[in-house]
């Protein structure tokens, strides 16, 4: 097949409904894409261990995780961009004084710097995963971390964003944000994959719905925002499909001519 394309899918609110269910039409569409010879990949803010079952179910082995900080191509690590540990240590100490817990995350696990906190439970529970961060305040020492979760209410993160310029802060829940390396994004992770595979811009597609998809959807030429997506996301995308609950992936793939 000469006109192969590469398609990147966000997970939450894109592949999965808000109840974290995979629509049958989406699963069928993914396998049809693969049968047609296209490259199918995932681009998510999640850690690799948070969507292992989904990768197995969809037989997908290429992905951008941690919003671009840990990139895998055909099962092999292609690119990593760890957090600046010294800056993270200072931020963690300041956050602890403000009763703002953090969860340290590498490619294998996640550990909290406090034994328990309601904000951690509130946000992690919405992911509906079978893993919860255990307590290890020193987990950041001696290992590469690709993302850290900061738990605070909207607006409280401003003090950290102003003081710690080594990081970007991306909110994904009313009481939780992703801390990622400054300038790191899904778009940059995607670029590593398309460079390795040699896909031209016109053969690149991306689907997303959230604020951490903004750079991806404004960079990838054929970008599709979900109908349930944030208004800012719809504004930067080239196309807008139906919501994930309304077979939005299948509709969107037909809209752009891939199916």
Indicate whether 169 and 188 sit together in one domain. Answer: no
Domain termination site, one of 117, 148, 181: 181
Query: Any idea what the CATH number is for the domain that residue 176 is in?
Result: 3.30.1240.10
> Domain span at residue 166?
85-181
**Predicted TM-score of the model (pTM):** 0.91
Same domain for 240 and 120: no
- pLDDT at position 127 is 87
**Together in a domain, 65 and 53:** yes
Task: Give me the CATH number covering residue 230.
Answer: 3.40.50.1000
Q: Which two tokens stand for residue 93?
A: 């100490």
Q: Is residue 60 part of a domain?
A: yes
β-pairing, 147-150 vs 176-181, is antiparallel
Domain match, 30 and 68 both: yes
Per-residue pLDDT of 69-87, as tens digits, reads: 999 999 999 999 999 999 9
d(CA 257, CA 255): 6
Compute φ and ψ for 100, nearest 5 degrees: -115, 95
Average pLDDT of the segment spanning 198-215: 95
Same domain, yes or no: 89 and 153: yes
Give Rg (Cα) of the chain: 18
Mean pLDDT of all residues belonging to the chain: 96
Neighbours of 206 (CB within 10 A): 29
**Does 75 share its domain with 193?**
yes
Q: Is 118 a catalytic residue?
A: no
Q: Do 177 and 92 fall into the same domain? A: yes
Residues 124 and 149 in one domain: yes
> Which residue out of 10, 178, 213, 247 is catalytically annotated?
10
90 and 76 within one domain = no
Domain-located, residue 110: yes
- What does the pLDDT look like over 136-146, one tens digit per residue? 999 999 999 99
State how far the Cα of 96 lies from the Cα of 93, in Å rounded to an integer.
Answer: 5
Q: Are residues 165 and 247 in the same domain?
A: no
Q: Does residue 177 share a domain with residue 89?
A: yes
d(CA 96, CA 38): 47
CB 219 within 8 A of CB 212: no
Q: Work out the angle at residue 70's Cα, subtended by the Cα atoms of residues 220 and 119, and round it to the nearest 5 degrees.
A: 100
Query: Given pLDDT bands bounded at 50, 70 and 90, which one contains residue 172?
Result: confident
Query: How crowded is residue 239: how many other Cβ atoms within 10 Å of its Cβ?
Result: 15
Question: Which of 128, 154, 181 is the endpoint of a domain?
Answer: 181
Enter the tokens of residue 48.
Answer: 């690799």
Nearest to 85 by CA among 135, 137, 140, 157: 140
In a domain, 1, yes or no: no
Look at residue 112 and tell me if it is in a domain.
yes
Percent of the chain at pLDDT > 70 equals 99
Report the number of distinct structural domains present in the chain.
2
47/63 Cα distance (integer angstroms): 11
Is the same domain home to 76 and 89? no
pLDDT band for position 1 (50/70/90)?
Answer: very low
202 occurs within a structural domain: yes
β-partners of residue 148 are 104, 179
Domain ends where: 162, 181, 200?
Answer: 181
């Amino acid at each position: 097949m000469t006109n192969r394309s590469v398609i990147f899918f966000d997970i939450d609110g894109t592949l999965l409904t808000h109840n974290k269910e995979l629509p049958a039409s989406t699963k069928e569409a993914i396998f049809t894409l693969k049968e047609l010879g296209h490259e199918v990949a995932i681009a998510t803010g999640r850690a690799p261990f948070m969507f292992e079952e989904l990768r197995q179910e969809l037989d997908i082995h290429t992905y951008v995780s941690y919003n671009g900080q840990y990139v895998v191509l055909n099962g092999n690590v292609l690119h990593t961009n760890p957090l600046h540990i010294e800056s993270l240590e200072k931020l963690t100490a300041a956050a602890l004084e403000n009763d703002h817990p953090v969860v340290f995350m590498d490619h294998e696990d996640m550990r909290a710097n406090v034994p328990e906190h309601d904000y951690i439970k509130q946000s992690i529970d919405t992911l509906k995963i079978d893993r919860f961060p255990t307590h290890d305040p020193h987990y950041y020492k001696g290992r590469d971390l690709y993302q850290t979760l900061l738990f605070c209410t909207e607006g409280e993160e401003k003090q950290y964003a102003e003081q710690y310029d080594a990081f970007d802060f991306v909110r994904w829940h009313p009481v939780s944000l992703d801390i990622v390396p400054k300038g790191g994004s899904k778009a940059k992770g995607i670029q590593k994959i398309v460079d390795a595979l040699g896909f031209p811009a016109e053969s690149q597609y991306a689907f997303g719905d959230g604020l951490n998809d903004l750079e991806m959807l404004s960079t990838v030429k054929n970008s599709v925002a979900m109908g349930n997506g944030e208004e800012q996301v719809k504004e930067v995308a080239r196309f807008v499909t139906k919501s994930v609950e309304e077979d939005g992936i299948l509709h969107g793939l037909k809209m752009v001519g891939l199916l």
